[in-house]
Chain A
Amino acid sequence: MKINIPFIKHIAELSRIKLSKDELEKFTPQMKTILDSATVVQDVNTEGKQPMKRHIPFSTLREDEAGETLTQDEVLKNAPHKELGFIKVYGKVFGSIEES
């Protein structure tokens, strides 16, 4: 993976963050440092090793019972904007990549 300005710009756009030219120039080497330090783990030889992840049997999963929820007031408490019980978000949702 090549960590350069276009790459960081792409990541920023995916996160809906606008970065100025100066910011891109500042953050790109910082991101490179972070990612480079993480690549150390890629040098470890994992040949023939199973991924270390916890396994659980299907039977131990949560049973399908409905439980407690927050109240509408509690849900809206931290919302900067609200209207008619909805959370209100300003701004045009651009470049929609709505998927489900």
Chain B
Amino acid sequence: MGNDKYDLIVGLEIHIQTKTKSKMFCSCPTGYFHEEPNTHVCPVCLGLPGALPVPNKRAIELCILMGLATKCVIADEIYFDRKHYFYPDLPKGYQISQYKNPICSNGKVELSNSTVEIERIHQEEDVAKSTHHIESGTGLDYSLIDYNKSGVPLIEIVTKPCIRSAQEAKEYATRIRQIARYLNISDADMEKGQMRCEPNISIQEKGKWDYKDGMITAIGDYKLNPKVEIKNIGSITAVEKSIEYEFKRLSEALESAEEIVQQTRGWNADRGITEFQRSKETADDYRYMAEPDIPVIEISQEDIARISEELVELPHEKIVRYKEGYKLSEYDAEVLSAERNVAEFYDKLVEELDKEIKDLPTSAKLASNSITGTIFSWLNEKGISISEADLDLDDLVEWNLALHENEITKSKAEELLKKSLDKGEDLSNLLDVFRTKAKKSAGNIEDIVKDVIKENQNAVEDYKDGKKASLGFLIGQVMQKTQGTADPNEARSILMEELEK
């Protein structure tokens, strides 16, 4: 993205709450959503003096798993650091995080047309939730703090400044969310704050800058424009929209010779704009120091091997296989791989179907049509996921084979499938009933054709006068009389035979 004069440069920081039962450094339960405030806390996550942090093994495994899925180098020693700042949501006065030695570094994520470089993924702890108010009566400012979220495991995934369009940032965030969900690292629900995206944006004049070794550098005596960080992004769409907005705002500011200062802005989803929050003229001073309360944790190759057993084929890998092995379109490949349970159901359906058909692209296309068509629209209508629907794999195989062998028309097949989904009727039974009727009408199709001719003399005249479209109408009448069980090709040839008489 860009315009005639400027290029867009984006780096993305994504925070993800990982799915553990207990908090990062204490045994308090993590499921705080809709819970009473300050009921999931203990001296550790309240930051009481003398309380000691005890790292959660599963949380670190999930951080490593995210690193493995994004082809990162995994450190063999884990160090924690203290990041100091003073704010009511941080009771200790520091956040336990990682500064110099993140657990994962130098990874990459493949997108449809580009590769995003991951600089680091590190482990930290979430802060408390605070809301700000003004007291009625006194007019005093105050904040209400709930420490249930304090200490929930959080990983931060940081890209290099290698993203060049708002669309690419959106695709990357979508991919990260898919990976997190595929591997059960997190539900990554942005509305619940389980995933948070913060783009860092700058625009630079075309041809005046260089990207090398993960850094943006100026060419010659060009002075780089400062970065803007956007916070408060509540959806993947907002990632794209806020970057588009900011690119336009920054371009216009530079064109009207306004000075840009390094700043943090907040996305206002209602108004579709970013709003100034604070300037960052001086570098943040977090006075990092090594966390003395946590020993160095040694990771062995055996540990990594064991964690990597949780890896599964990831969406971008499925897309490649679907496109190359199954000859699916880009669109179908994307849609079928977006959710793990859909992709797994699809893979099983293709496998079973191909035992009969023995032609992979044909089986793959049939299975793809059946899932992305009737089944998806039904799931959408019901607002449920594929795992919540009671789909019988064998029945769907039978149904697809009936279609493949032209036993049934597409519209009739879809009607039966929809009926089975809606009414919870056995699809295999519905197919049996259909076959019985089909057999019956096959026997007397000639009589039915004769009836249709008798009852539709006008259309017959039209046809004889050269209006060939009338034939379609007559075929339709035959199909209606047989309740869709007749083979339309057979109906056509018998009709033509009769009409020639």
CB–CB A93/B143 < 8 A: yes
Task: Show the binding face of A for B, using Cβ within 8 Å.
Answer: 10, 14-16, 53-59, 61-72, 75-76, 81, 83-93, 95-100
Of B37, B38, B58, the most chain A CB neighbours within 10 A belong to B38
Q: What's the dominant secondary structure at chain A's contact region?
A: loop
CB–CB A87/B295 < 8 A: no
A15 to B, closest residue via Cβ: B86
CB–CB B144/A55 < 8 A: no
Among B55, B85, B295, contact of A54 (Cβ-Cβ < 8 Å): B295
CB–CB B147/A61 < 8 A: no
Enumerate chain B residues within 8 angstroms of A87, measured Cβ to Cβ. 38, 144-147
With A62-B56, A70-B43, A75-B38: A83-B144 Cβ-Cβ less than 8 Å: yes
A57 to B, closest residue via Cβ: B298
CB–CB B37/A72 < 8 A: yes
CB–CB A67/B27 < 8 A: yes
A61 to B, closest residue via Cβ: B57
Question: A56-B298, A57-B298, A62-B57 given. 13 additional CB < 8 A pairs?
Answer: A53-B296, A54-B296, A55-B296, A55-B297, A59-B303, A61-B60, A64-B20, A64-B56, A67-B27, A69-B28, A76-B38, A87-B38, A98-B87
B243 within 8 A of A: no
B36 within 8 A of A: yes
B-side interface residues, number (CB < 8 Å): 62
CB–CB B296/A88 < 8 A: no
CB–CB B41/A89 < 8 A: no
Q: Top 10 A-B pairs ranked by shortest CB distance? A: A67-B27, A64-B58, A61-B57, A86-B144, A66-B29, A54-B295, A92-B141, A85-B37, A75-B38, A87-B145
Task: Show the binding face of B for A, using Cβ within 8 Å.
Answer: 15, 20-22, 27-30, 36-43, 46, 54-60, 77-78, 83-89, 95, 124, 126-127, 130, 132, 140-147, 154, 196, 277-278, 284-285, 287, 290, 295-300, 303
CB–CB B298/A62 < 8 A: no
With A57-B298, A66-B29: A85-B36 Cβ-Cβ less than 8 Å: yes
With A55-B295, A61-B55, A62-B56: A69-B22 Cβ-Cβ less than 8 Å: no
B89 to A, closest residue via Cβ: A98
CB–CB A69/B29 < 8 A: yes
CB–CB A93/B127 < 8 A: no
Enumerate chain B residues within 8 angstroms of A71, measured Cβ to Cβ. 39
* Whole-angstrom distance between the Cβ of A24 and the nearest chain B Cβ: 18
A97 to B84, CA, bound (A): 10
A68 to B45, CA, bound (A): 13
CB–CB B300/A57 < 8 A: yes
Enumerate chain B residues within 8 angstroms of A10, measured Cβ to Cβ. 285
A15 to B130, CA, bound (A): 19
CB–CB B37/A89 < 8 A: no
Enumerate chain A residues within 8 angstroms of B30, measured Cβ to Cβ. 66
B64 to A, closest residue via Cβ: A58
5 residue pairs of the A-B complex, CB under 8 angstroms, read: A55-B77, A61-B55, A85-B146, A89-B130, A89-B142
Enumerate chain B residues within 8 angstroms of A81, measured Cβ to Cβ. 142
Among B42, B60, B147, B277, contact of A68 (Cβ-Cβ < 8 Å): B42
A90 to B15, CA, bound (A): 29
